[in-house]
Structure 1
Amino acid sequence: MHTIRHILANKGGDIWSVKPEDTVFDAIRMMALKGVGALVVLDGDALHGMVSERDYARKVILDGRSSRETRVREICSSPAVTISPKATADEGLALMTRKRFRHLPVVEKGELLGVVSIGDLVTAVIGDQQVLIEQLERYVSG
């Protein structure tokens, strides 16, 4: 069964971040450049929260605000919900489903190790299930 640590090791530890005082426009531009749907919000070295395309759509566009004037701190989800690298992919999916978000910072002993997406976790769970199916088929066929 895949752990969050294993998933991070396979995908790499790139962490794309913005500061709370950055503009939402700068955050959206970085998301587009990096091909991601969310960014970590760091206040110095401290994890402040997460900002996503969903935050932008719901808290800027729908409210008629300007992305060039609105600060990330005004729309980000804070404090960030995090997960331990020791957790399983299933536990991560359950947390994301319960809290209704798609990106999850991985933290160990106060250190940000990376971010996993719902896609990362679904891929891992499907892989785990495929291995289990193959083992059961071998067992049944003898």
Structure 2
Amino acid sequence: MESVGEILNKKGRAVYTISPEARVFEAVQSMCARHVGALLVSIDSSPSGIVSERDVMTRVILARRDPAKTLVAEVMTREVVCVEPSTQARQAMAVMTERRCRHLPVVQDGRVIGMISIGDLVYWASREQEAEIKMLTEYVQGVYS
């Protein structure tokens, strides 16, 4: 079973951030340009929240707020759930399900070293299932690699 740290080693450790004083429109531009669904909100490289597509939809669009005038700090999720690199992938999936979030910062020694998404974990789960199916098929057919 893979850990979150091993998944980060394969996918990369890029963490995209934005200031809480930035406008929501800037956050959306940044997410679109980077093809990500969330940005870590930080002040002097210290996380203070996370802003996601869901935050924009529920707290800006549905509230009929102007994204060009609304500050990220006004709509971000302040309670950020984090995991450590040693956290098992299945455990991270359980955290996402329980907390109803799609992105988890990965923290080591008090600093963010990466971010994983539900998409990263679904990709991991499908690869794990493919390997298991292949192994079982080879066993049934009497073929060993």
Hey, what does 2:119 align to over in structure 1? 119
Worse-matched range after superposition: 123-132 or 4-13:
123-132
Q: What is the 5 A alignment of 1:1-142?
A: 1-142=1-142
SS at match of 1:78: coil
SS at match of 1:68: coil
d(CA) in 2 for partners of 1:47 and 1:132? Answer: 38
Superposed CA deviations along residues 49-94 of structure 1, whole A, max 9, x for unmatched, are 1101110111011111111111111111112111111111111111
- Segments of structure 2 that go 5 or more residues without pairing to the other structure are none
d(CA) in 2 for partners of 1:135 and 1:26? Answer: 47
Count of residue pairs brought into register by the alignment: 142
Superposed CA deviations along residues 72-124 of structure 1, whole A, max 9, x for unmatched, are 11111112111111111111111111111111111111110111110100111
Q: CA RMSD in A?
A: 1.4
Superposed CA deviations along residues 24-71 of structure 1, whole A, max 9, x for unmatched, are 111111111111111111111111111011101110111111111111
TM-score, L = length of structure 2: 0.91
Fraction of identical pairs, as percent: 39
Amino acid at match of 2:116: V
Amino acid at match of 1:71: L
